């Protein structure tokens, strides 16, 4: 607790001094006469003995009043964290080649990617994140959202396409272009695409370089991740694709390298957080006011009943 006018509390000092001085009550009452030798000493009356109680009630009432005038208050300090998040569109390859188990023993590429991406999502509390998958055709699995628990549930349900399905091919350019279009209207926020694929472009409706140009035109950075046991020509092309948009390109050859790539992207796309602290005060003088009134009333009743003077 603090006080809005603490200097008023100095009035308590004289109150304490007068209180200590006034509580010294003699055990006997001296009645002076002109002749000192004829002074009569008698025991004090009941009214005289009760005088200190009246003074005590008055002093307590005045002390309570001083507390009220000092403006007691209680403050609760809060911190307002101001951090504008970014929009992140995750683009995940789901072609049948993502079923290979060359990144981690006993786990497919897609399983490893889902696990790493889930950790990435958990680390991005201030950001809106969406999920788009692709093979031949891009599919929006989850729009941009702050509900990361729901996004994670959608991610866990992602499955690769069948090896003999007509859709089993890789259309990086189409998927990237669609991801850019999902972000292009959010110009007031920083926008990022994290693209993960394990294969070369097989469909040429939209070339990856054309999609990269579209991303650059709309101010969208692309982080392109090539999953491959060895860095080939297409992997180098993916790195160039990311760098051409102001982002980065990476090659992940195993599960550990893939995790490090997402951790690096997480560090690269961190927004500065500003914290403002403020204190909200609530006046508490009302807690002391009833006590003050009660003590004054007690003194009045006490004087009326026990200290009444007869003319």
**pLDDT for 251-300, tens place per residue?**
999 999 999 999 999 988 876 555 566 566 556 656 666 766 776 676 66
Residue 169 in this model has a pLDDT that exceeds 60 = yes
Residue 37 in this model has a pLDDT that exceeds 90 = no
Distances (CA, A) of 51 to 14, 23, 98, 307: 20, 9, 95, 8
The verdict on 150 and 206 lying in the same domain is yes
Domain coverage including residue 44: 2-77+281-306
The verdict on 187 and 226 lying in the same domain is yes
Q: What whole-number distance in Å separates Cα of residue 107 and Cα of residue 128?
A: 29
Of the pLDDT bands very low, low, confident and very high (cuts 50, 70, 90), residue 25 is very low
Mean pLDDT over the full length of the chain: 79
The verdict on 114 and 144 lying in the same domain is yes
Residue 3 in this model has a pLDDT that exceeds 70 = no
The verdict on 23 and 44 lying in the same domain is yes
Of the pLDDT bands very low, low, confident and very high (cuts 50, 70, 90), residue 38 is very low
Question: Considering its fold, how many domains does the chain have in total?
Answer: 2
Q: Does residue 274 form part of some domain?
A: no
The verdict on 58 and 88 lying in the same domain is no
The verdict on 13 and 137 lying in the same domain is no
Q: What whole-number distance in Å separates Cα of residue 63 and Cα of residue 69?
A: 10
Residue 197 in this model has a pLDDT that exceeds 90 = yes
Q: Does residue 311 form part of some domain?
A: no
Helix (H, G, I), strand (E, B) or coil at 20: helix
Of the pLDDT bands very low, low, confident and very high (cuts 50, 70, 90), residue 15 is low
Q: Does residue 273 form part of some domain?
A: no
Name the H helices within 23-141.
Answer: 46-70, 109-122
What is the H or E stretch that residue 79 is in?
Answer: strand 72-82
* Structure-block tokens of residue 154: 């959608």
Cα angle value 292/297/303 (rounded, 5°): 130
Q: Which of 199, 230, 207, 234 is closest to 92 using CA atoms? A: 199
Helices 208-217 and 233-244 meet at what angle, rounded to 10? 20
Count CA within 13 A, CB hemisphere, residue 206. 20
Q: Does residue 191 form part of some domain?
A: yes
What's the CATH number where 169 sits? Answer: 3.40.50.410
Q: Does residue 115 form part of some domain?
A: yes
Residue 35 in this model has a pLDDT that exceeds 50 = no
The verdict on 89 and 160 lying in the same domain is yes
The verdict on 71 and 132 lying in the same domain is no
- Pick 44 or 246 by higher pLDDT: 246
Residue 193 in this model has a pLDDT that exceeds 90 = yes
Distances (CA, A) of 196 to 98, 193, 222, 230: 11, 10, 11, 15
Neighbours of 59 (CB within 10 A): 20
Average pLDDT for 55-68: 69
81-102, pLDDT tens digit by residue? Answer: 555 678 999 999 999 999 999 8
Which residue is listed with tokens 């997480």? 266
The verdict on 105 and 193 lying in the same domain is yes
Helix (H, G, I), strand (E, B) or coil at 62: helix
Q: Does residue 30 form part of some domain?
A: yes
222-249, pLDDT tens digit by residue? Answer: 999 999 877 678 788 888 999 999 999 9
């Amino acid at each position: 607790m603090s006080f809005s006018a603490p200097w008023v509390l100095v009035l308590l000092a004289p109150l304490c001094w007068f209180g200590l001085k006034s509580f010294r009550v003699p055990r006997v009452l001296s009645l002076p006469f002109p002749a000192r030798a004829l002074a009569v000493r008698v025991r004090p009356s009941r009214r005289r003995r009760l005088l200190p109680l009246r003074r005590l009630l008055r002093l307590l009432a005045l002390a309570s009043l001083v507390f009220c005038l000092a403006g007691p208050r209680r403050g609760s300090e809060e911190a307002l964290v101001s951090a504008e998040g970014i929009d992140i569109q995750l683009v995940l390859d789901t072609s049948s080649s993502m079923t290979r188990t060359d990144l981690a023993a006993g786990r497919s590429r897609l399983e490893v990617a889902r696990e790493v991406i889930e950790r990435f999502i958990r680390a991005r509390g201030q950001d809106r994140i969406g999920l788009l998958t692709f093979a031949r055709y891009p599919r929006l699995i989850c729009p941009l959202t702050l509900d990361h628990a729901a996004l994670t549930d959608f991610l866990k349900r992602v499955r690769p396409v069948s090896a003999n399905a007509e859709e089993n091919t890789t259309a990086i350019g189409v998927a990237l272009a669609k991801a850019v279009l999902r972000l292009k209207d959010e110009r007031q926020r920083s926008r990022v695409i994290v693209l993960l694929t394990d294969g070369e472009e097989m469909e040429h409706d939209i070339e990856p370089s054309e999609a990269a140009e579209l991303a650059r035109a709309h101010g969208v950075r692309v982080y392109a991740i090539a999953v491959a046991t060895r860095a080939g020509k297409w992997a180098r092309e993916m790195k160039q694709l990311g760098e051409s948009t102001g982002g980065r390109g990476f090659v992940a050859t195993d599960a550990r390298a893939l995790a490090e790539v997402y951790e690096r992207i997480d560090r690269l796309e961190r927004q500065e957080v500003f914290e403002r602290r403020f204190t909200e005060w609530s006046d508490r003088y009302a807690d002391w006011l009833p006590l003050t009134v009660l003590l004054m009333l007690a003194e009045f009743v006490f004087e009326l009943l026990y200290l009444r003077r007869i003319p």
